[in-house]
Amino acid sequence: MTQEKIQPFDLTVIGSGPGGYVCAIRAAQLGLKVAIIEKSPNLGGTCLNVGCIPSKALLHSTEILHTIQEQAADNGIETGKVSMDVTKVMKKKDKVVQTLRLGIQHLLKKRKITILKGHAKFINSTKIEITDNDQRSEIESQKTVIATGSKVTELPFLKVDGEHIISSDHGIALKSVPKDMVVIGAGAIGLELGSVWSRMGSKVTVVEFLPQIAPTYDEEISKHALKTFKKQGIEFSLNTQVTSAKISKNRVHLSAKKGEEELTFSAEKVLLAIGRSAYTENLGLENCGVVTDPRGRIKVNAKLETSVANIFAIGDVVAGPMLAHKAEEEGVAVAEIAAGKHGHVNYKTIPGVVYTDPEIACVGLSEKEAVESGYEVKSGKFSLAANGRALATDATDGLVKVIGCKKTDRILGIQMIGKQASEMIGSAVAHMEYGASCEDLGKTVHAHPTISESFKEAALAVDKIAIHSI
């Protein structure tokens, strides 16, 4: 084993996901001497390598197939039989990922950030050991940001084997289309990867513990989504708890309970998508005294400081929604705090998106959450079926809902399902960030014809003055 000593850094970031690499760049912009440590051979973390980006590439490719199959004929396009080459789809996805990996490397190098390859472990609060195969080195750092992300959550009787029982890591890289697939969990991964493999021809059944799919979204939006995805051929079993699993003859057999009813499911692949847990394995937290909560997440205060002075934590490894943009914003905030400035994240305006077709997006509170938070609530809805652009572009499946406060007219939340909802939610975030009222949104000029006009109409509908609906 060789050992090497490196000069002290002002700030060291452990993990190069969207939290870590963004934090490193912002800290370097602010004049700090920065290092980033990554144990994986590739920069970019879960998001770039096995998460956001590969899944969106697969969703895009399969959406083209789906659009041709469903809409070509109506638009006067004759296609004959359309098929998909899984190898080529994966190759295209890999190319996108590789381009972005190089992009991150370029950005870090240009900012003169030292990239250290290997597994980081605290020796004490200012000393970190880095191990890369038989190479061992030590660095000193005045301040450290833990951005080590998350790992897939398993069930005691259902461990990922990568063959029959898979996680999203495998679900974005299958070499062929399974005849059938059971997805456990109707959250973001379940719905996105369920859609991908269903569009590719697999018979997909989604098993969800709760009575609602996409349970963090407004009930009306989730109900609409359920109806749409069922029409697309995905089967759902809600209120269902898987209780045991057995593999035989190359198939997984699941037993489950739905109330008093005993159910069984059988499939070539079972995709486990019941959430993710904070990842702090072999990080040496015990050597520096950083404290975790009962769910294993690193405890931080409002300034993202851990229980130890000068050690911060951000992204999936701390509490809050496990989203790349949340990790990025925390990365920027922490870099600014570490440089003596006032970093801040507005947790009330973090958007959520599920990139299915149609897409589901939200910001702020659902109607139920608003009521539970003690607001007197009013809401307005607008169906995309009444939107001209949606009709002209085969995008009528969806609705926008604006939730407002009866007393102040302030927007409390915006929820939507529809084509390009992921792009539209940005303007909803901006309205909420600047504290807009329902009237403000209703009086904002939107280009015609655009699907985003349904936003304005939903805001007008809050006070029952929508123009294009009764």
Q: Is 254 left (phi over 0), alpha (psi -120 to 50) or beta?
A: beta
Residue 211, Cβ neighbours under 10 Å: how many?
11
Choice from 20, 187, 315, 418 touching ligand NAI (CB under 6 A): 187
Nearer to ligand FAD, 149 or 364 (CB): 149
242 touches ligand NAI (CB under 6 A): yes
Distance between CA atoms of residues 337 and 304, nearest Å: 9
Choice from 62, 114, 141, 150 touching ligand FAD (CB under 6 A): 150
Distance between CA atoms of residues 320 and 168, nearest Å: 20
Helix (H) or strand (E) holding 232: none
Residue 256 touches which member of ligand NAI, ligand FAD, none, C-beta under 5-8 Å by kind: none
Contact predicate 35/116, CB 8 Å = yes
184 touches ligand NAI (CB under 6 A): yes
185 touches ligand NAI (CB under 6 A): yes
466 touches ligand NAI (CB under 6 A): no
Distance between CA atoms of residues 26 and 330, nearest Å: 11
Which residue stretch of 257-265, 337-345, 348-356, 424-432 sits at the interface with ligand NAI (rule: CB under 6 A)?
A: 348-356
Nearer to ligand FAD, 284 or 449 (CB): 284
Return the percent helix, strand and coil in the chain, to nearest 5: 35, 30, 40
Nearer to ligand FAD, 360 or 438 (CB): 360
Which residue stretch of 46-54, 81-89, 222-230, 450-458 sits at the interface with ligand FAD (rule: CB under 6 A)?
A: 46-54
Site of tokens 């329902």: 438
Catalytic residue among 106, 119, 325, 448: 448
Nearer to ligand NAI, 51 or 404 (CB): 51
Choice from 27, 48, 189, 283 touching ligand NAI (CB under 6 A): 189
HEC string of 308-345 equals CCCEEECHHHCCCCCCHHHHHHHHHHHHHHHCCCCCCC
Site of tokens 């970019």: 44
- List, in sequence order, every residue forming a beta bridge with 137; answer none if it has no partner: 4, 130
355 touches ligand NAI (CB under 6 A): yes
Q: Are strands 377-383 and 135-146 parallel, antiparallel or unpaired?
A: unpaired
Residue 283 touches which member of ligand NAI, ligand FAD, none, C-beta under 5-8 Å by kind: ligand FAD
Which residue stretch of 7-15, 201-209, 342-350, 397-405 sits at the interface with ligand NAI (rule: CB under 6 A)?
A: 201-209
317 touches ligand NAI (CB under 6 A): no
Joined together, the tokens standing for residue 66 give 């789906």
Site of tokens 């890289």: 173
Joined together, the tokens standing for residue 115 give 């990239």
Residue 274 touches which member of ligand FAD, ligand NAI, none, C-beta under 5-8 Å by kind: ligand NAI
Q: How many residues does the chain have?
A: 470
334 touches ligand FAD (CB under 6 A): no
Choice from 283, 361, 362, 412 touching ligand FAD (CB under 6 A): 283
The set of residues, in sequence order, having a beta carbon less than 8 Å from that of 64 and lying 6+ positions away, is none
Helix (H) or strand (E) holding 37: strand 34-38
Q: Please confirm, yes or no, whether 253 is among the known catalytic residues.
A: no
**Closest by Cα among 373, 433, 425, 374 to 402:** 425
Least Å distance, CB 194 to ligand FAD, is 12
Nearer to ligand FAD, 355 or 382 (CB): 355
Residue 428 touches which member of ligand NAI, ligand FAD, none, C-beta under 5-8 Å by kind: none
Q: Are strands 276-278 and 150-152 parallel, antiparallel or unpaired?
A: antiparallel
- Residues of this chain that bind ligand NAI (CB under 6 A): 155, 184-190, 192, 207-210, 215, 241-242, 273-276, 321-323, 353-355
Residues in touch with ligand FAD (CB under 6 A): 14-20, 37-40, 45-47, 51-52, 55, 119-120, 147-150, 168, 189, 279, 283, 315-316, 322-325, 327, 355
Query: What are the catalytic residues?
Result: 448
